[in-house]
Structure 1
Amino acid sequence: MTVTFNHTIVAAKDRNESARFFRELLELPEAPSWGPFTNVQLTDGVLLQFAEPPVEIQMQHYAFLVDDELFDRAYRRLCDRGIEHWADPQMRRPGETNDEHGGRGVYFKDPAGHAIELITRPYL
């Protein structure tokens, strides 16, 4: 059997708000949800399961590979909503995107404070 990534639980302050943020930004359809999870399903079938843990949320990093057209639309949404973003993970180049690794990229925070990255080309 090959190994594929199936799902992860993403800690959220408000699971519905976080799921909606990702669905709108990445143009994803609603997914069936159950129990303590509000789910978002990516194109390849991977589930992001948003949950509200009873502990302080520690920042995580999530990177999404998107095509150039979706990158343009998502970046426009970030700008239109006034979401602070950077060209680098150290947050030294505010309001910019990067063109490293043969593609484009941008970093920003989601509603729970996680570091999110959109890239148009894989690093490897």
Structure 2
Amino acid sequence: MSIALNHTIVYAHDRDASATFLTEILGLPKPTPFGPFLTVHLSNDVTMDFMESDDRITAQHYAFLVSEAEFSEIMERIQDRKLRYWADPAQRREGEISTRDGGLGAYFEDPNGHLLEIITRPYGGH
């Protein structure tokens, strides 16, 4: 059996700003409209479908596996925007980069408070 994640819905107060934030920070192509969604395409054929909501947004966590070169580029964009970032999901080690499992990692928030993570190695060191 082969099961793969196809898409996930990301609730946002401003779907355009949130989807654009993600594509600009990660260096992805511009988001594309699809029905009520603004869709961000990831390289593994998964989409993050941003949907506008006036309700309270419950913060979610999204982790992205990137190369070391991409990590450096993303961190440069985070620092250029003066965004806060942390080495841990509890957000106690501000301004630090994780070296867990022999890779690099960092957490930062999107405009809705979703906790985004970039890592260069999957957990467990695979």
How much does 1:3 deviate? 0.6
Please identify which structure carries the higher strand content.
2
Residue of structure 1 in register with 2:4 after alignment: 4
TM-score by length of 1: 0.95
Structure 2: where are the runs of 5+ without partners? none
- State which drifts further: 74-83 or 25-34: 25-34
Distance in 2 of aligned mates of 1:63 and 1:29: 18
Residue of structure 1 in register with 2:107 after alignment: 107
Structure 1: where are the runs of 5+ without partners? none
Instruction: Give the partner amino acid of 1:38.
Output: L
How much does 1:31 deviate? 4.5
Query: Alignment length, in residue pairs?
Result: 124
Distance in 2 of aligned mates of 1:24 and 1:84: 16
Distance in 2 of aligned mates of 1:8 and 1:52: 14
Structural mapping, 1:30-109, within 5 Å: 30-109=30-109
User: Residues 29-56 of structure 1, C-alpha deviation per residue, up to 9 Å, x if partnerless?
Assistant: 1353122100000011101000112421
How much does 1:102 deviate? 1.2
Say what the alpha-carbon RMSD is for the aligned residues: 1.1
TM-score by length of 2: 0.93
